[in-house]
Amino acid sequence: MEKHTQDETYLVPQTTAGATGKRDLRFWGVIAAIMVSAFTSALDLTSVSTALPVITRELHGTQFVWVGSAYALSSTAFLPMSGGVAEVFGRRIVMIAALFFFALGSVLCGAAPSMNFLIVGRTIQGLGAGGLTSLTQIVLSDLVSLKDRGLFSGLLGLAWAIASFIGPVIGGVLADHGAWRWLFYLNIFTSVFAAVLVFLFLRLRTPTGTVKEKLMRIDWIGNLLVISASSAVIIALTWGGIQYPWSSPRVLTPLILGTIGLIGFFVYEANVAVNPIVPFSLMSTLTGLSGYLQTFVASIVMIATIYYLPVYFQACHGSSPTASGVDTFGLGFVIAPSNIVAGITIARTKHYRPQLWLSWIIVMIAAGLLSTLHAESSRARTIGYEVFIGVGIGILTTGTYFPVLAPLPVSENAHALAFFIFTRAFGQVWGVTIGAAVLQNYLGRHLPAAFDGAFPQGTEIAYAAIPLIKTLPPDLAQATREAFASALSVVWLVMIGIAGLGLLTSLLMKHLTLHGETNEKWGVDDKNNSPISPTADSESGDVELISSDKH
C-alpha cells in the first residue's frame, strides 16, 4: 500500500493485507453499528406482520398487502443505486442518510390517520431500510475477507434473528393493547442509537472529488431504468388477483412494461453504461448466477413464512396477536443458531454447497409438513413444523451470498452486494404477493356464503376480519377457520414448488475457493477520514480474478 501525506490521496490496490488486519475497538464498534442497523430494519419487518390484521381493521383499510409491498417496493427500487452511491460518496454518509429516512418513515407510520397515509410512511421507511440492508453487508465485506466472513455473517444473522424472535411478540402485545403505533415509534430510538454508533465508529476512507464530480460518477440512466421497471412489476404483482384480475390491462400493462424495462436495464448496463450499477461481471459465471437465483427464491419462502404463519394462528386457532407472536417464537429461535452454525461450517470447511443443498431439502420437507395442517391441528405440531422450516431458512440467509461473491474480485463487493440485497428484496415482494394472491383467491371461492352477509365487502376484507372470526356464530366461525386453513395449505404447497426451484438452481454452482482478501481501499481510516482516489479500484489492473467459472 502506497501511503501519501494527509493532503494527498491513498492509491490503494486490492491486497491480502486486510485479511490479517487488526480487530481493535474501532473494528468491533463498526460491527456493533451494522448489527444494530440490521436489528432495526428486521424488527420492523417481523413485528408489523403480526399486528397487521389489527392495523387494517383500525384504519378501515382493505389493501393490506400494500403495507408490506410499499415497503418492499421502495427498498427494492433503491437497492441497486445504494451500492453505487456508497462507492461515490462513502459508506458513512449513505448509512446515516438511510437511518434518517427509516426514522422519518417510522414517524409518519406511527402518526398515520388512514391506510393510504400509512402506505406513504411505509414507502419512505422502505427507502431507508433498503440502504441499511445493503450498507450493512457492504461494510462487512470491506472489513472481513470472504473466507473469514462466515462467523461475522452469523453475527449479522443473529441480530436479524433476535429481531425476528422478539418482533412478533412486541407487535402482538402492542396490537392487543391498542398501541400498535408504538411499533413504529420504537424505530426512532433504535435508529438514533444506530446513527450514534455509525457516527462514532464507522470512519472508513472516503472518495475524493467535488460533489459535482461525484454526481457525474453515478449511473443515473441505469438507476432510472431499474427503479421505474422494478416499481412497475411490483405494482402489477400487488394488484394481480387481489384488486384486479390477472388478465386486467391494469395488471398486464405494468407487468409487461416492467419486465421489458428490466431486460432493457440489463442490456444497457452490459453495453452502454460507463459506471454500471450492476456490472455484467456479477452474473457472468454460473456460480454467481446460481447465487442470485437462490437468493431470490429463498426470499420468497422466508417472507411467506414470516407473514402467513401468524395468519394461521390468528385465523385458525383464534390466537390473539400476542399469542400468535409467542407461537412464532420457534421460527426466530432456530434461525439465529442456524445462521451461526452455517457460517461457522462454511468458514471451517471452506465449502458452501453442501449446506445450501441441505437447506433446500429441509425447506421443501417443512413446507410439505405445514401444508398438512388443518384448523384443528395441535399447537405443538404446528410449532414443530415451523422450527423445522426455520432451520432451513436460517442456513439460506447466511449461505446464499457465498456463491455470489466467490467468483468475484473484492473490488466488486459493493455492486455485488447491493444487487444481492436487491434480489432478496425483490423476492420478498413476490413472497408477500404470491401468498396474498393464493389466500384471497382461495377464500373468494371457499368462504361460506354467510360470510358475505357478515362482511359485505367480501374477501378484500378477509384479512381485517381475522380478529372478528371469534364473534361469528359458531358454525360460521368454524367454516371460516377451515377455509383459512385450506387456503394456507395451498400457500405451503406453492412454497414446496418454489423451494424445489431453488434446489434446482443450486445445482448450477461450482465449488470455488473463498478468497482471503479485503479491499484496502475501504479499510478503517486511522488518519482522520483520509481520502481515496476514485481510480484505485479494479480498473487499475491490480485485481486478480479468483476463478474463471465462465458460462
Q: Which tens digits make up the pLDDT trace of 46-101? A: 777 777 777 877 877 666 667 766 777 777 777 777 767 777 777 788 888 889 99
Local confidence band at 20 (pLDDT 50, 70, 90 cut-offs): very low
Backbone angles phi, psi at 207, to 5 degrees: -70, 155
Per DSSP, the residues of 195-235 read HHHHHHH--B-EE-S-HHHHHHTS-HHHHHHHHHHHHHHHH
Q: How big is the CA angle at 163 (ends 118 and 326), to the nearest 5 degrees?
A: 90
Q: Which tens digits make up the pLDDT trace of 336-372? A: 788 778 878 887 888 889 999 999 999 999 999 999 9
Average pLDDT on 276-293 reads 79
Local confidence band at 7 (pLDDT 50, 70, 90 cut-offs): very low
Q: Which tens digits make up the pLDDT trace of 174-226? A: 888 888 888 889 888 888 888 888 888 877 666 666 666 666 777 778 778 87
Average pLDDT on 320-330 reads 76
pLDDT of residue 175: 81
Q: Nearest Cα to 402, choosing from 99, 206, 153?
A: 153
Backbone angles phi, psi at 323, to 5 degrees: -65, -40
Per DSSP, the residues of 390-451 read HHHHHHHHHHTHHHHHTTS-GGGHHHHHHHHHHHHHHHHHHHHHHHHHHHHHHHHHHS-HHH
Distance CA 305, CA 284 (A): 32
Q: Is 204 helix (H, G, I), strand (E, B) or coil?
A: strand
Local confidence band at 150 (pLDDT 50, 70, 90 cut-offs): low
Give 285's strand partners.
550
Average pLDDT on 11-33 reads 59
Average pLDDT on 126-154 reads 77
Give 240's strand partners.
244
